[in-house]
C-alpha cells in the first residue's frame, strides 16, 4: 500500500532521474512520491519504454519474464513467484514478445501487465487497480500516440478469481 500512498504504484526507487509529476516534497527515503497516480503510472510507462530499448539493444525480446526479472530482481524478491503471479493475473504468455510501450496496439496487454504488477507491489486485488490512471499515465508518457489509442483497446478488467 506504500506505493498507493506515494502515487507510485510500482514502487519506483529514487535515482538520478528527475520524474515529471514528482511531488516537490519527497518524504519517503526509498521511493519517489508523485503528485497524482497518473504521474506514477507515467513513470511506469516511461520505465517500460527504457526496458524495451535496452532489451532491443541486447537482441532480447520484450517479454513478461524479461520485464519482471529486471523490475523485481532476485536480490530483492521471489522473482519466479512474482512472474508466475503476473502471468496468471494478466493472461499473457511469459515468453510472448510484446509491442513497444509507446505503440497503442500493445496498450491492452501492457495495461494488464501493469495492473498485475500493481497487485503484486501493493497487495491489493485486480479490481482495486485504477485502470483510468494507467490510461492517463499512458497519455502523459506518450502524448503523440494517445489519440491513436482506440477506446475499444482500453484495458479490460477481466481477471481470474481472486
pTM of the model: 0.91
- 25: cell is 516534497
Say what the pLDDT of residue 157 is. 57
Residue range 28-44: mean pLDDT, rounded: 97
Residue range 20-31: mean pLDDT, rounded: 96
Per-residue pLDDT band for 161 (boundaries 50, 70, 90) equals very low
98-130 per-position pLDDT tens digit = 999 999 989 999 999 999 999 999 999 999 999
Whether 114 contacts 10, CB under 8 Å: yes
Is residue 73 left, alpha or beta, with left meaning phi > 0 and alpha meaning psi from -120 to 50?
A: beta
CA distance linking residue 135 with residue 24, whole number of Å: 24
Residues above pLDDT 90, as percent of the chain: 84
Q: Is 24 exposed, middle or buried (0-12, 13-18, 19+ CB in 10 A)?
A: exposed
Q: What three-state secondary structure class fits 102? A: coil
Residue range 14-43: mean pLDDT, rounded: 96
Amino acid at each position: 500500500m506504500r506505493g498507493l500512498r506515494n502515487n507510485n504504484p510500482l514502487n519506483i526507487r529514487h535515482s538520478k532521474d528527475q520524474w515529471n509529476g514528482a511531488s516537490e516534497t519527497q518524504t519517503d527515503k526509498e521511493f519517489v512520491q508523485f503528485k497524482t497516480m497518473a504521474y506514477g503510472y507515467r513513470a511506469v510507462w516511461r520505465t517500460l519504454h527504457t526496458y524495451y530499448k535496452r532489451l532491443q539493444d541486447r537482441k532480447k525480446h520484450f517479454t513478461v519474464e524479461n520485464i519482471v526479472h529486471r523490475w523485481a530482481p532476485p536480490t530483492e524478491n521471489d522473482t519466479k513467484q512474482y512472474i508466475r503471479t503476473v502471468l496468471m493475473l494478466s493472461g499473457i504468455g511469459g515468453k510472448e514478445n510484446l509491442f513497444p510501450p509507446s505503440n497503442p496496439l500493445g496498450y491492452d496487454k501492457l495495461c494488464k501487465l501493469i495492473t498485475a504488477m500493481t497487485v503484486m507491489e501493493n497487495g491489493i486485488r485486480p479490481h482495486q487497480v485504477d485502470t483510468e490512471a494507467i490510461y492517463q499515465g499512458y497519455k502523459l508518457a506518450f502524448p503523440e500516440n494517445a489519440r491513436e489509442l482506440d477506446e475499444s483497446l482500453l484495458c479490460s478488467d477481466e481477471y481470474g478469481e481472486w
